[in-house]
Amino acid sequence: MLPSSTVENYLKAIYQGQSALPPGERLVPMGQVAAALGVTPGTATTMVKALSESGLAEYEPYSGVRLTGAGETLAGLVLRRHRLVELFLVQVMGMSWAEVHEEAELLEHVVSERLIERMDDMLGHPTHDPHGDPIPNPDGAITPRELDSLLTCPIGEKLRVTRIADQDPAFLRFIENNHLKPGQPVEVERRDAAADSVRLRGKDDRVITIGARAASKLLVEVVPS
């Protein structure tokens, strides 16, 4: 099977679904794949069966799907193109980090590997895109990294925002307006389960309260003392 844009989108969706699976889970549910791609479950199943026949995925009827090693490599290369394009559009073209995702969705399927490697050279071989997502290496591999969200991190410790797990432009603008982009300092002062909220202290001692859903999308790491 040739890696058409449709195939690449499926590989990427399954790959990202695998990355988000809870411990002990192996297969990405077909409903999740269909929802991620905006297609019906029947359409998703037909394509996943084709991926399985091509040796790019393992499909188990009524259970779900998982990529093979070959499928993971191809998915990693699609993510590499996407994330390098995003960074290039922000750093070189001066576009907002809130608007580059959709552009990269289109360009990831048409840029050549030669152009991607040139972008990589120009950007200094970066390891992360503007949203903190890791950029796969030229072999399509990503080094796994465990990160806490603002719902699971220690309270009262110095933290650094590392990754934003949501590409919605409105959410990214909210993050930017509140100085919570990757690299920014933050500290969780309080979690209020009854109010479903988290109170933070950020850059310049700015205090902000955000909802638990938003807090779950901000991934952080402890700043070494």
CA of 51: how far to CAs of 2, 4, 48, in Å? Answer: 10, 12, 5
pLDDT at 224: 87
φ, ψ for residue 65, nearest 5 deg: -145, 150
Distance between CA atoms of 71 and 81, rounded to whole angstroms? 16
**Stretch 18-31: mean pLDDT, rounded?**
92
Check residue 3 and give its pLDDT. 67
pLDDT in tens, 177-202: 999 999 999 999 999 999 999 999 99
pLDDT at residue 1 in the model = 46
Q: What is the mean pLDDT of the chain?
A: 94
Please choose, from the candidates 105, 200, 116, 103, the residue with its C-alpha nearest in 3D space to the C-alpha of residue 150.
200
pLDDT of residue 145: 85
pLDDT tens digits, 98-117:
999 999 999 999 999 999 99
- Percent residues over pLDDT 90 in the chain: 90
Assigned token pair, 223: 């700043």
- Which H or E element spans position 18? helix 5-19
Q: DSSP E strands: which ranges in 7-158?
A: 57-60, 64-67, 148-149
Let me know: does 51 contact 71? Beta carbons within 8 Å.
yes
In this structure, the number of other CB atoms found within 10 A of the CB of residue 101 comes to 19
Question: Which structure tokens are listed for 94?
Answer: 């001066």
Please, what's the largest Cα pairwise distance for the chain? 56
Q: 222 pLDDT band (50/70/90 cuts)?
A: very high
* Least confident residue range of 88-92, 96-100, 126-130, 143-147: 143-147
* Predicted pLDDT at 143: 85
**pLDDT of 13 above 80:** yes
Ordered structural domains, the chain, with CATH: 5-67 (1.10.10.10), 148-222 (2.30.30.90)
The residue-averaged pLDDT of 144-171 equals 94
At 39-93, the pLDDT tens digits run 999 999 999 999 999 999 999 998 999 999 999 999 999 999 999 999 999 999 9
The pLDDT of residue 46 is 96
Residue 20: predicted pLDDT = 86
